[in-house]
Amino acid sequence: MSSHPLSHFTGKDKQLADLTAAAQAILQLDRAFKRLLPGRLGEQCQVACVRGGELVVFAHNSTVAARLRLLGNSVVAPLARQGYPLTSLRVKVLPTPPKPVRQKSFSLSRAGIDAFSRAADEVGNPVVKQALQRLLRHHKP
């Protein structure tokens, strides 16, 4: 891994430099946009891009999208006064993908199952006994 700053690489490639500048501009606009939002609403959305004067914002759910649409011009006008070339706001709901199902990554050997089974029979603490039995139910074939 290189220890050079990003500017070391972007200075050598015009396309990479342009892409980096565009990304930094969007991040700066995102911060300015979120400062205008009430409460913790800014945590639930992000600026996507600007298209022809239209600020496109992704909302994490439809409730957040509705609140942002209600704010409309009250966030676009201050941004325009700050020098951003904006005339309107478009809010899109960005669906969150379902969480992947975790595959079982650990299994006990037959000897391990036998040892836990003996321990469950011999332990006196009912909480530990119950936990060991639950573990065995999960791992027995």
Please report the pLDDT score of residue 7 as a whole number: 63
For residue 37, pLDDT over 80 is answered with: yes
Q: At what angle do helices 126-139 and 110-122 cross, to 10 degrees?
A: 160
Residue type, 80: A
Token reading at 81: 């006064």
Q: Which helix (H) or strand (E) holds 59?
A: strand 54-59
Distance CA(123)–CA(119), nearest Å, equals 6
Q: Which residues of the chain form CATH 3.30.300.180?
A: 6-93
- Put simply, whether the predicted model's pTM sits higher than 0.85 gets the answer no
pLDDT in tens, 78-130: 999 999 999 999 999 987 777 788 776 777 888 888 888 898 898 889 999 89
Which CATH fold topology does 6-93 show? GMP Synthetase; Chain A, domain 3 (3.30.300)
Please report the pLDDT score of residue 10 as a whole number: 61
